[in-house]
Chains A and B, each alone.
Chain A
């Protein structure tokens, strides 16, 4: 049990280091992928809502501590994304990579809309159309295209065998 927790933490830590050190250099037209979000969603797809939300929480907390403007916001949004990714665990089989790619596209949208909600709460002017065109769609696309590569790089470290409902029934 502890070994699985430590190993999962190391995967998330690796994603965080990649996000902090490498991602800023691979942005395309200003859009940056969110590796922590992809990992949290992959945990959700593979192990269910609890694992997804806890992975999102841990990765989000690390991201928040580094970015620092509103510590708590990233962990809130990533926990929710990980949780919802876990809810579709029954319908998404990670072996068919197209479905997770589509789900990551939607998950990125969800993550960004949580941010927009927070900005509105802060009273900031939110140019919604501009944000959708310039931020949300490019990032969602970038994240989904990156998903197979992140999955290939990370899945061997994502310890346990996939627990689909079918397996758990058996």
Chain B
């Protein structure tokens, strides 16, 4: 059957390639209420219960394995954490008194108090399923008050932002995804740049820092609040490497995040409603 192995198959593959390109284009151009975005929410809602079951079933095995493999490390880590807790309790007491003093002085000169945002605790039920994109699915959705663009944090710092929400689940684009971009500030110098994920690397890139900058290894990076998506001051990480190319206008800065993006289990979704956040829904 030479025809079967010839023209018909090529027609099929060309049609499929054409359909793929059409779907890619529609997805780029359509809004949040477009047919593909709605289909995405449907698939996420359908698959999230199964992912939750898989996490519940597999997590004890994984924990048991980790316990066996890392028993020595866990003991050492436990000792270190106990010591750290004692130190931090002492620091906390002095910080409380500083906070009270700060609050009194702010009131004195009429400064607005920094807002405390409410957090929605969530479990990660779906992890990245391929090697290219970094997004996770969490078990809190629209009915729990989660909305698109809300920032997501863990104890160590910023994790990412909510990019899609169904009734019972939400998709979080992680900070280390190549599609992610967050406006940040170097705490010491006040310079503003953009954090982006890198393909297949746990480090984050800090872009648009001028070659004349005094940024150095160990500088802390926090969200700048510009753009309105993230509140100002959420910790992101510290500078791990600064390089300069011969003709480049900007430095190449790498950031080491305290967050282990590959092993997230619980996160906090910050109930932050940006006043002037850009979203396709608004446009």
Q: Which A positions have Cβ atoms within 8 angstroms of B?
A: 17, 19-25, 27, 30-32, 34, 48-50, 53-54, 57, 60-76, 79-80, 83, 86, 112, 115, 119, 124-127, 130-131, 134-135, 139, 168
Contacts and interface: CB of A to CB of B under 8 A. Distances in A.
Interface centre among B13, B23, B135, B200 (most CB of A within 10 A): B13
Given A20-B129, A71-B36, A124-B178, A66 B13 contact: no
B20 interface: yes
Tell me the dominant secondary structure on chain A's binding face: helix
27 contacts: A21-B53, A24-B128, A24-B129, A25-B58, A31-B131, A49-B12, A50-B12, A63-B129, A65-B36, A65-B40, A65-B43, A66-B40, A66-B47, A66-B126, A66-B129, A67-B128, A67-B135, A68-B163, A68-B171, A69-B177, A74-B130, A76-B21, A80-B17, A83-B12, A119-B199, A127-B200, A131-B199
A38 to B, nearest CB: 13
B24 A71 contact: yes
Q: Which range contains the number of B residues in contact with the other chain?
A: 35 or more
A109 B16 CA distance: 20
Contacts of A168: 1
> Closest 10 interchain pairs by CB?
A72-B24, A24-B127, A76-B20, A21-B54, A72-B23, A49-B9, A71-B27, A65-B43, A79-B16, A83-B13
Interface of B: 1, 4-5, 8-9, 12-13, 16-17, 19-25, 27-28, 36, 39-40, 42-44, 47, 50-51, 53-55, 58, 62, 126-133, 135, 163-164, 171, 177-179, 198-201, 262
A71 B40 contact: yes
Contacts of B177: 69
Contacts of B17: 76, 79-80
B23 A71 contact: yes
Contacts of A115: 132
Contacts of B129: 19-20, 23-24, 32, 63, 66-67
Nearest to B10: A49
B262 A30 contact: yes
A87 to B, nearest CB: 8
Contact of A134 (B5, B25, B28, B200): B200
Contact of A65 (B5, B28, B39): B39
Contact of A68 (B5, B28, B54, B135): B135
B51 A48 contact: no
Nearest to A127: B199
A32 B36 CA distance: 26
Contacts of B127: 24-25
Contact of A17 (B20, B21, B24, B50): B50
